[in-house]
Each structure stands twice: as C-alpha cells, then as structure tokens.
Structure 1
C-alpha cells in the first residue's frame, strides 16, 4: 500500500483549541499510529475515513486522491471503500449479528441479492459466529462483538481497514487471543491496515511503520524492522518518544 497524508485541522472544545498537524508517507502494509490519548491519532483516522474534514491538505491511497482541500475534493465516506472498526465497535443494538454484518452491503431499498447474502454467510463462518448469527450485540461477549465488527467492516471488500484501539475494551487474556485472531484475518484477507493504539504490545504485533503522535503532531516515523535490526528495543524506543509529551 502506498499511503500519503498531509492534513491540518483546528478544533475547539470547552474554550480550548486543539491543532492537528499530521503528515506521513508509507509504502508498508500495516501502519500503527501510536501515542498518548488526545494526541490526534483518532482524529487522523476519522479524516482518512471521511468522518472528519480537514481544513487543509490532502490524503492519497495508492495514488488515488480521496481528499484535497485546495482542489475542493472530498470523496464521501460511503464511496471511499474503507472499512472502519470503532473503539466501542458501534454495532447496531437492534440488529442481529447477521444483520449487522450485512448492513454495509444492503441497498437503500430492498434486500441482499444471492451473491451478497452468500458473502455474509461466508463471513459468519470465517469468524466463527454461526451459533450467534441470530443474537443481538447485547448478548455477545467483548470478543464476539469485536469479531462481528470486523466481519461487518470487511463485508464490502474494502481496500483499507482502519482500527481504532481495537483491544482496549478487552481484558488482558482475551486481548492476547484477539491479537492473534486479527493477525490471521489480515493475512487471510490480504488487506492493508492502519491501527490507532497507545499499547506497545499492539505495535510489536502488527506494525511495519510506526507513526508517533505528540500534542497533535507527528513527532517521529519509524520502521519497526529498522529499530530491531539496529539492536534497539522497540517498546523502549516508543516509550521514550511518548514520555516527551509529558515533559
């Protein structure tokens, strides 16, 4: 994946102003946006998805421009073909597992055609949700909700998967298992991914490129393999960078 982003966004909340200044470039398959809470990671992810409109700049995926403020180009979220898994999974509580997965595939009016219906059933099988397909999110465990949210995000065959703190709502043993499951999913679907996290274990598991955020800005960009090849500890390197945000 070739990914280019250079955006600026000014926001106000409670009389405080926050300036996001995000710029990075990568040709790796998996990127991790790493840093403390409130440093601009999720805002960047929302801008990529089209859920936030930057004031200035551009976003390109594999050479395709999906946002360019100067040119007045802002491709709607529904047309960007990007899968998004929210931190709280954002499943529709009134829909079953099957209906949640099918949601992004359904036309505005009418029902799924046969090929799309088969796609939904395949994803239910792949994610081990067969016994739960008729259940609603309130009856699911955290891991089951996450698998449902992943299946829903992957149903339209997106060109890019965005994950916002995907393991933060899980306890430690389940977090470890779900990391392994996600790694298998990424390999099976061969899909590029950008993940937001402040957990260095996520970085070690997934990152090829690590973009470190601090106070609304990109503080550093690392190749995970180059850090390890140089004999440095990846976690210690990242923690030193993040610690600067609190000085």
Structure 2
C-alpha cells in the first residue's frame, strides 16, 4: 500500500467504521483485511486476530487519553508488562518519543492541564510507542482551532516522515487530504465511491479540492 492513504467523505459515510475494523475494534460481517500483507481478518477462514496482536497504532478523534495518568504514563501504557517495570529499551523508547514530540516540560502532567496540541502529541506518541506496523488517525485535527490545526499538520507530517510508518487517515477536510494523501479513498453512504491517486490528479492538471468536491457530488447523484 502507499504510505499515506486518506479516507475522505462526509460524516457518517463509513470512514471510521473502516478504521475500527482494521484495528479489530469492530468485526465485519464478511470479507477480509490485510495489514502489510498479513491477514488479520477473514470471515471465510474464521480468522480474526485480536486488536493487541495486529500491531496497529490508533489515534482517536478525541485522543482518548487516560485522565488519571500523566503524559509519560499515557505514552508508556502500551509497553507495560502485566507485572514489573518497563524494560530499559522501552524506557528509552518513551524518552525518545517525549523528546521528538517536545513533551519534556509536561511529562509529569495529566491530560486536563494540557493544551489541545499537547494532547494530540501525547496521543500520537502513545500510538507510536509499541512501534506499530500501521498508524490509524481518526480526524486528528477536528478538535483543534484553525491556526493550531495548520501548525499540527506540519508537525505531524515531519513526525510521519521521521518514523516512516504507513498511515491511514480519516477526514472530511480537503486541506488534510492535500497535506498528507498519496491515495484517496472516497466514501459515500457507507460505500467506497472511488479510489484516486494524488499523482494522477496532479498530472491531469485538475485541482485536488475541485476533484474531491466533484467526486462527492457525483456519488450522491
């Protein structure tokens, strides 16, 4: 798959359901799902790999940080063994992520005292901590005001480039598509209406925003 796939379409069109199915939070009635070539769900073969074994990082729309845990505890959560402390390599991983996301000054604080941008960075760091094979982002900028949204887009782009992790993002914002997408999956009424290549759109001379608007309008005809 391309390293940056965006699921685009109006609210309620099925984008988040797709994301949760990939993560294993929902079980489809039928079909199959592959993550980096590994089958994690196949209804015909009775395969349904548990979420914790799919090696998928997930950032929720509202970030879903644990309110009773500090920033460093939130980031460490997916690395903690059932008994005992973090391994030295995991401690180093958490420290690396705190440094990458600029969270050192707030590492001991709880989510309620963080800004929207700091909450998003913490959620991203938590998702990346176990070194997932795939990162899923559910409208990661929708809770941010416009100036912060622009800045966080730039920060996220740098982080994804640094870690080189394949990403699927859900959005209905054309600016998100323009910033991140290599491939665009257009949704409408619970179905995939089209799959578009950003390079193909650029080579055709069409504008990306106009193309997306046309795709959605056509899907509703």
* TM-score normalized by the length of structure 1: 0.88
Aligned residue for 2:123, secondary structure, equals helix
Mark the runs of 5 or more structure 1 residues left unpaired by the alignment: 1-26
Is 1:185 matched up with 2:123?
Answer: no
Equivalent of residue 77 in structure 1, options 37, 48, 51: 51
* CA distance in 1: counterparts of 2:99 and 2:38, whole angstroms: 33
Equivalences for residues 12-27 of structure 1 within 5 A: 27=1
Q: Is the 8 A contact 2:127 2:135 kept in 1?
A: yes
Is 1:216 matched up with 2:184?
Answer: no
Q: 1:245, CA displacement in angstroms? A: 5.3
Aligned residue for 1:56, secondary structure, equals coil
Partner of 2:34: 60
Mark the runs of 5 or more structure 2 residues left unpaired by the alignment: none
Q: 1:243, CA displacement in angstroms? A: 2.8
The farther-off stretch of 38-47 and 114-123 is: 114-123
Is 1:176 matched up with 2:146?
Answer: no
Is 1:241 matched up with 2:178?
Answer: no
Return the structure number with greater strand share: 1
Q: Is the 8 A contact 2:193 2:219 kept in 1?
A: no
Q: CA RMSD in A?
A: 0.9
Is 1:155 matched up with 2:129?
Answer: yes
* CA distance in 2: counterparts of 1:33 and 1:107, whole angstroms: 34
Equivalences for residues 24-173 of structure 1 within 5 A: 27-173=1-147
Q: How many pairs does the alignment contain?
A: 221
Partner of 1:24: none
Q: 1:62, CA displacement in angstroms? A: 2.5
Return the structure number with greater helix share: 2
